[in-house]
């Protein structure tokens, strides 16, 4: 018995499964919280890129996650009391 074929999760998956050549692009989130700043970077890629990756940890600046950092501060704060 064959299982029904599932729908592709994205247009990118659909193109790759069809054996098509795809173009991807990468953008970094803006420093600001203004959505227009992000869209100014992304919109020129419309119609050119098949997929866009928004990077996490742009500029290779690894850092401790905020929730973990907050937990460590709280733990240390209460240990010193």
Distance set, CA 24 to CA 54, 59, 74 (Å): 11, 19, 42
6 inside domain: no
Residue 80 has pLDDT above 70, yes or no: no
Model-level pTM?
A: 0.59
3 inside domain: no
Residue 60 has pLDDT above 70, yes or no: no
pLDDT digits (tens, 9 = 90+) for 20-36: 999 999 888 888 888 89
Residue 26's domain comprises 11-79
Number of domain units in the chain: 1
Establish how many alpha carbons lie within 13 A of residue 45's alpha carbon, considering only the half-sphere containing its beta carbon. 16
């Amino acid at each position: 018995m064959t299982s029904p074929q599932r729908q592709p999760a994205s247009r990118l998956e659909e193109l790759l499964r069809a054996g098509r050549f795809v173009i991807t692009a990468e953008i970094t989130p803006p420093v600001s919280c203004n959505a227009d700043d992000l869209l100014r970077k992304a919109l020129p890629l419309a119609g050119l890129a098949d997929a866009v990756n928004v990077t996490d940890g742009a500029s290779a600046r690894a850092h401790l996650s905020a929730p973990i950092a907050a937990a460590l501060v709280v733990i240390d704060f209460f240990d010193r009391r």
